[in-house]
Amino acid sequence: MLGRSPQFYGTVSVVLLLVVAVGLIVYAFGSDAWAAQRRPGSTAIRISNDEFSQKFSVSYFTKRLTLHIREAGGVGAASNQAQTLIDVCDQLVEETFLLRFGGELVEMPTDAEVDTKIAARLGLPTPTPVPSPDASASPTTSEPIASPAGSEPTLSPTASTDLSDRFKQEYERSGLSESEYKDMIRAEVLREKVLAKFKAEIPASVESVHYRQILVGRQTEADDLKGEIQRGGDFVALAKQKSLDSATKDKGGDVGFAPRGLLAKAEEDALFPLAVNQVTTFAGDVGCPPAPLTGVAGSPTLVLQVTEKVPDRPIDDDKKSAIAETSLRNWLNQKRLGDEQHQAFKIVNEMDPVSGDADKRDYALKRAYTQTP
């Protein structure tokens, strides 16, 4: 040992370094392979507080993403992958809150209502419920047999068989289980009921403002425009020149009348206190409905100016559905943020186009967009 040359020890050191390097490479590849193997079952979205937790796996998210693209009309119609991720994330969060809290507003959908909705989606005739027989009723009576108290009408055998066969084909094609597919449809029916309730509660007339806006990319730009307008600048000309909003740009920023309840609450709170011709800037949730519950949408910056105020203006019929949508979104956000009965929820969104897990996003996008024509 003492007679070995420095060259020998140098060679041994190099060999050891190579062994360590190879070990690290093998470990890295092994870790990546292990992570890839576990990825389908890992968390895509988690909605939780101390009382409740709902997890959607990457595998489930991918199936819903595929279904969303298919129902949107295919890959061409859903070419904006980031927006498609946002839409599916928001839909899953909305469904979770509706199924958990929707019963506070309306009656939960019955199985028959869910079956009717499924039949409509599959292009089948609306199933005709058959009342459950009443054992106490006389078999000779010519009157329809009423369902016993608390029972639910069932479908006729033929309709039930047709629906069952087609439904099985549909949920198997989607990759979802029967219960997962029915929960999705139940939330859809529940959404329609809640929207109908909110729409029925809209008054005939409310306070309204006529306003215009300039959409810009940065707060500093909005502040500069606000100052220019306050010094006598022409809002209409500046909107045509500077606004990024293609819907109102050519109209000098004119949006029209907005009744209370149409806009996101934060935008409404900034807009309605303004006096006629007063100008302000706003950055936050805008539009109808407001930004997604997952908070992944960007917040635009606006320069706003009120041109007319009417204390009690009739609500246009074409705005009522939009007002109901905003009411629903405000209610969902209230549940997300918590109230006297429920704790606030934390939403972990690994599919966020900006801040989520890139590997999980790529897994879902690659499979959804290649499986859908």
Q: Cβ neighbours of residue 8 under 8 Å, at least 6 residues apart?
A: none
Q: Do residues 289 and 240 touch, judged by C-beta distance below 8 A?
A: no
User: Is 181 in contact with 166 (CB distance < 8 Å)?
Assistant: no
Residue whose entry in the numeric block shows the structure tokens 């292990």 = 34
**What DSSP assignment string belongs to 110-141?**
PHHHHHHHHHHHTTPPPP-EEPPP-TTS-TT-
Q: How far is residue 56's CA from residue 34's CA, in Å, rounded to a whole number? A: 20
Whole-number pLDDT of residue 287: 43
What percent of the chain is predicted at pLDDT more than 70? 77
Displacement of CA 55 from its chain's centroid (Å): 15
- Closest to 262 in 3D by CA, of 276, 249, 272: 272
Rounded to two decimals, the pTM is 0.76
Which residue's entry shows tokens 């139940």?
186
* Amino acid 30: pLDDT: 52
User: How high is the pLDDT of residue 140?
Assistant: 42
What's the pLDDT tens digit per position in 56-81?
999 999 999 999 999 999 999 999 99
pLDDT band at residue 25 under the 50/70/90 scheme: low
CATH of 206-314, one of 3.40.50.2300, 3.10.50.40, 3.30.410.10, 3.40.50.460: 3.10.50.40
Query: What's at 71, amino acid-wise?
Result: E
Give the pLDDT score at 297.
45
DSSP E strands, the chain:
43-49, 52-57, 129-130, 154-155, 205-216, 254-259, 279-283, 301-314, 346-349
Q: CB count, 10 Å around CB of 85?
A: 24
Order across the sheet with 254-259: list the strands: 254-259, 205-216, 301-314, 279-283
Facing residues of 303 across strands? 214, 281
Within a 10 A sphere around the Cβ of 274, how many other Cβ atoms? 16
- pLDDT at residue 88 greater than cutoff 90: yes
- 72-86, 185-199, 290-304: range with highest mean pLDDT: 185-199
Above 70 in pLDDT, residue 121?
yes
Query: Which residues in 9-37 are b (16+ Cβ under 10 Å) and which e?
Result: eeeeeeeeeeeeeeeeeeeeeeeeeeeee
Looking at residue 299, what is its pLDDT? 58
DSSP letter string over 274-314?
A: PPTT-EEEEES--SSS-S-TT--S---EEEEEEEEEEEEEE
28 pLDDT above the threshold of 60: no
Q: Which residues contact 104 (CB under 8 A, 6 or more apart)?
A: none
How far is Cα 130 from Cα 147, in angstroms, rounded to an integer?
9
| CA 138 to chain CA mean position, Å | 52
Question: What is the C-alpha separation between 360 and 353, in angstroms, rounded?
Answer: 11
Give the three-state DSSP class for 73. Answer: coil
- Tell me what pLDDT residue 146 has: 41
What pLDDT does 135 receive? Answer: 44
4 — pLDDT class (breaks 50, 70, 90): low
- Does the pLDDT of residue 106 top 80, yes or no? yes
Q: Which of 176-190, 263-277, 282-296, 321-335 shows the lowest per-residue confidence on average (mean pLDDT)?
A: 282-296
Closest CA to 371 of 46, 65, 37: 65
Residue boundaries of the structural domains of the chain? 6-39, 206-314
Q: Is 99 exposed, middle or buried (CB count within 10 Å of its CB: 0-12, 13-18, 19+)? A: middle
Residue 13 has pLDDT above 80, yes or no: no
Residue 265 binned pLDDT confidence (cut-offs 50, 70, 90): confident
Question: Look-up: residue for tokens 């918590």?
Answer: 338
Q: Note whether 281 and 299 are within 8 A (CB).
A: no
pLDDT > 80? residue 122: yes
Residues β-bridged to residue 208:
259, 310
